[in-house]
Amino acid sequence: MMESMQGIRGLQVSPLCLGGNVFGWTIDEAASFRVLDAFVDGGFNFIDTADMYSRWKPGNQGGESETIIGNWFRTSGKRGKVVLATKVGKDMGEGRLGLKRAYIMQAVEASLKRLQTDYIDLYQSHDDDSSTPLEESLAAFDQLVKEGKVRAIGASNYLGTRLQEAIETSRRHGIAEYVCVQPHYNLYERADFEQNLAPVCLATGISVIPYFSLASGFLTGKYRSEDDLAKSARGQGVKKYLNDRGFRILAALDAVAKDHNATQAQVALAWLKAQPAVAAPIASATTVEQVEELLGAARLALEPGAIKTLTEASA
């Protein structure tokens, strides 16, 4: 069954996006293939990665996630079933970074080769590059759209003022414009997005695909004390959430999850999905069981009372 699709201008995407940061980092190629198959066979189509995933792992060079996805496309024949998003701009080493025209043109070819495809559905600026004029970067993206190598473009980690400036630049020059933004946004991390970016997104029609949707696993409810931090590689990133506000959020998640016969992670994602302008939260999975849980989250619709409970607890 194909899941009902959401609109990002020019693209029809499933209401949840599978994060590819774990491919080649915390899971190997075989496990990644199982996760990808379960996601697409479950009727979902939106997969996000980046050229630099997962350069941070000792022994990795960057490009591991794209390479695994490319191998999966080749062996599964499922490229046509996927809306593929990747990113450019973060440091790949040896001076390969930023959004200068020449570098975008070089980086896109490297991504296409690793991904074993001739087009990228959504090509995103991974970071703002203040050293390069917006017009230069956007004109490069526009050329890739005209050449058919890219279908749409998006931004990640942009401030609201800069995103507004980028949209105005595109419209002034009649070139491709960002159709979505990828911010750090979840039930705990709210203020920055809601005050800074959300007004620009709502005013310009930009869709939102939030990353760290589960706050590095904190919103799954599995970290409730410092003793729990050793449970995974991401544990130390969760320490900052173990405070009064964090525990208040967990209590609200517990209550709503119990009422809906759902998991805390499903409820946290369903809350995010219900926020204005959000097209599809990004979440990663390392097992088929986790994929099943994510698909359940995408199908969970919270009523206004439950959303209010969560919104007030996390204020």
Do 66 and 114 touch, CB atoms closer than 8 A? yes
Which SS3 state, helix, strand or coil, does residue 240 take?
A: helix
Query: What is the C-alpha separation between 248 and 278, in angstroms, rounded?
Result: 24
Tell how many helices (H) and how many strands (E) occur in the chain. Answer: 11, 10
Residue 152 half-sphere exposure toward CB, CA atoms < 13 A: 20
Residue 86 forms beta bridges with which residues? 123
**CB of 84 within 8 A of CB of 123?**
no
Sign of CA dihedral 57, 61, 65, 71: negative
| DSSP states of 33-59 | HHHHHHHHHTT--EEE--TTTTTTSTT
Distance, CA of 233 to CA of 139 (rounded, Å): 40
Given 53, 158, 223, 241, the catalytic residue: 53
- Give dist(CA 36, CA 293) in Å, integer: 14
In which element (H, E) is residue 139 found? Answer: helix 134-146
What separation in angstroms does the CA of 145 have from each of 66, 96, 105, 161?
20, 22, 12, 25
Active site residue 178: no
**Active-site residue numbers?**
53
